[in-house]
A and B are shown apart, each in its own frame.
Chain A
Amino acid sequence: MTAPAPLPDISGYSIAPERHWGRWLAVAVILLLLAALGRAFAVGMIEWRYVGAFLTAPAILTGIANTLVMTVATMALGIALGVTTATMRMSPNPVLRGVAVGYVWLFRGTPVILQLLLWFNLALIFPRLGISGVWTVRTVDVMTPMVAAFLGLGINQGAYTSEVVRAGMLAVDTGQYEAAKAIGMTRLLALRRIVLPQAMRVIIPPLGNEFIGMVKLTSLASVIQYTEILHSAQNIYYANSRVIELLIVAAIWYLAVISVLTPLQMLLERHFARGTAGGR
Chain B
Amino acid sequence: MTGAADHRNPIVSIVALEKHFGAFRVLHHVSLDVFPGEVVCLIGASGSGKTTLLRCINQLAQQDSGAIWVDGELNGFTIANGRLHRRSEREIARQRLATGMVFQRFNLFPHLTALENIVEGPVEVLRRPRAAAAEEVQALLARVGLADKAGHYPAQLSGGQQQRVAIARALAMHPRVMLFDEPTSALDPELVGEVLAVMKELAASGMTMIVVTHELGFAREVADRVVFMDHGRILEQGPAEEVLLRPREARTQAFLSAVLG
Chain A positions near chain B (C-beta within 8 angstroms):
173, 175-176, 178-187, 189, 193-194, 197-198, 272, 274-277, 280
Contact = CB atoms under 8 A, between A and B. Distances in A.
Contacts, number: 77
Closest 3 CB pairs of A and B: A183-B121, A179-B107, A182-B101
Given A179-B169, A181-B93, A275-B111, 15 more contacts: A175-B103, A175-B107, A178-B101, A179-B107, A179-B166, A182-B58, A182-B101, A183-B120, A183-B169, A183-B170, A185-B93, A185-B125, A275-B113, A276-B155, A280-B153
A185 B166 CA distance: 16
Interface residues of B, number: 33
Nearest to B94: A184
Interface centre among B124, B154, B173, by most chain A C-beta atoms within 10 angstroms, is B124
A87 to B, nearest CB: 14
B124 A276 contact: no
Nearest to A194: B109
Nearest to B169: A183
Contact of A198 (B99, B111, B125, B169): B111
B107 A176 contact: yes
Interface of B: 58, 60, 89-90, 93-94, 96-97, 99-101, 103, 105, 107-113, 120-121, 124-126, 153-155, 166, 169-170, 172-173
Nearest to A280: B153
B93 A175 contact: no
B100 A276 contact: no
A275 B170 contact: no
Contacts of B109: 176, 179-180, 194, 198
A183 B173 CA distance: 7
- Report which residue of B58, B94, B111, B170 has the largest number of chain A beta carbons within 10 angstroms of its beta carbon: B111
